[in-house]
Amino acid sequence: MKFSHHYTKLDYPIFTTIRQNKSYYKLGQQILIYEPNNIFKAEIVSIRKIIKNEITENIARRDADCSKEILIQKLKTWYG
Protein backbone atom coordinates (compact mmCIF):
# COMPACT_ATOMS: atom_id res chain seq x y z
CA MET A 1 0.00 0.00 0.00
CA LYS A 2 1.53 3.30 -1.05
CA PHE A 3 1.13 6.71 0.53
CA SER A 4 2.26 9.81 -1.37
CA HIS A 5 3.39 11.53 1.82
CA HIS A 6 3.59 10.88 5.55
CA TYR A 7 0.22 11.05 7.31
CA THR A 8 0.04 11.57 11.08
CA LYS A 9 -2.06 8.40 11.41
CA LEU A 10 0.93 6.29 10.33
CA ASP A 11 2.71 7.15 13.60
CA TYR A 12 0.20 5.02 15.54
CA PRO A 13 0.15 1.21 15.84
CA ILE A 14 -3.47 1.07 14.62
CA PHE A 15 -4.62 3.38 11.84
CA THR A 16 -7.37 3.61 9.25
CA THR A 17 -7.19 4.19 5.55
CA ILE A 18 -9.95 4.68 3.03
CA ARG A 19 -9.32 2.67 -0.11
CA GLN A 20 -11.35 1.42 -3.03
CA ASN A 21 -11.36 -2.28 -2.25
CA LYS A 22 -11.90 -4.56 -5.18
CA SER A 23 -11.32 -7.63 -2.99
CA TYR A 24 -7.56 -7.04 -3.08
CA TYR A 25 -7.24 -6.47 0.66
CA LYS A 26 -8.28 -9.34 2.94
CA LEU A 27 -8.80 -9.56 6.68
CA GLY A 28 -5.62 -10.84 8.35
CA GLN A 29 -3.48 -10.06 5.29
CA GLN A 30 0.05 -8.79 5.95
CA ILE A 31 1.01 -5.90 3.67
CA LEU A 32 3.91 -3.53 3.18
CA ILE A 33 3.26 0.17 3.74
CA TYR A 34 5.34 2.47 1.54
CA GLU A 35 5.89 6.09 2.53
CA PRO A 36 8.34 8.45 0.83
CA ASN A 37 10.96 7.88 3.59
CA ASN A 38 9.85 4.66 5.25
CA ILE A 39 8.65 1.12 4.59
CA PHE A 40 6.99 -1.02 7.26
CA LYS A 41 4.73 -4.04 7.64
CA ALA A 42 1.09 -3.88 8.69
CA GLU A 43 -1.74 -6.33 9.14
CA ILE A 44 -5.33 -5.70 8.11
CA VAL A 45 -7.31 -6.18 11.33
CA SER A 46 -10.67 -4.83 10.21
CA ILE A 47 -12.51 -4.07 6.98
CA ARG A 48 -15.64 -1.96 6.81
CA LYS A 49 -17.46 -0.51 3.84
CA ILE A 50 -18.13 3.21 3.99
CA ILE A 51 -19.76 5.43 1.40
CA LYS A 52 -18.69 9.02 0.82
CA ASN A 53 -21.82 10.38 2.53
CA GLU A 54 -20.83 8.54 5.75
CA ILE A 55 -17.47 10.31 6.03
CA THR A 56 -17.53 12.71 8.95
CA GLU A 57 -15.21 15.60 9.70
CA ASN A 58 -13.62 13.47 12.44
CA ILE A 59 -12.98 10.54 10.08
CA ALA A 60 -11.46 12.86 7.47
CA ARG A 61 -9.13 14.53 9.97
CA ARG A 62 -7.97 11.18 11.40
CA ASP A 63 -7.60 9.45 8.05
CA ALA A 64 -6.23 12.11 5.73
CA ASP A 65 -5.18 15.10 7.85
CA CYS A 66 -7.69 17.26 5.97
CA SER A 67 -11.31 18.39 6.04
CA LYS A 68 -14.25 16.24 5.00
CA GLU A 69 -14.77 18.35 1.86
CA ILE A 70 -11.15 18.01 0.76
CA LEU A 71 -11.07 14.26 1.44
CA ILE A 72 -14.25 13.64 -0.55
CA GLN A 73 -12.84 15.68 -3.44
CA LYS A 74 -9.60 13.64 -3.32
CA LEU A 75 -11.57 10.38 -3.32
CA LYS A 76 -13.57 11.54 -6.34
CA THR A 77 -10.32 12.38 -8.14
CA TRP A 78 -8.72 9.02 -7.29
CA TYR A 79 -11.69 6.68 -7.60
CA GLY A 80 -14.47 8.55 -9.38
- pLDDT tens string 35-70: 999 999 999 999 998 988 999 999 999 999 999 999
- pTM of the complete model beyond 0.85: no
Q: What does the alpha-carbon distance between residue 42 and residue 33 come to, in Å, rounded to a whole number?
A: 7
Buried b (16+ CB within 10 A) or exposed e, 12-42: eeeeeebeeeeeeeeeeeeeeeeeeeeeeeb
- The reported pLDDT for the residue numbered 79 is 85
Own/partner contacts of 27-32, CB < 8 Å, gap of 24 or more, are: 31/1, 32/1
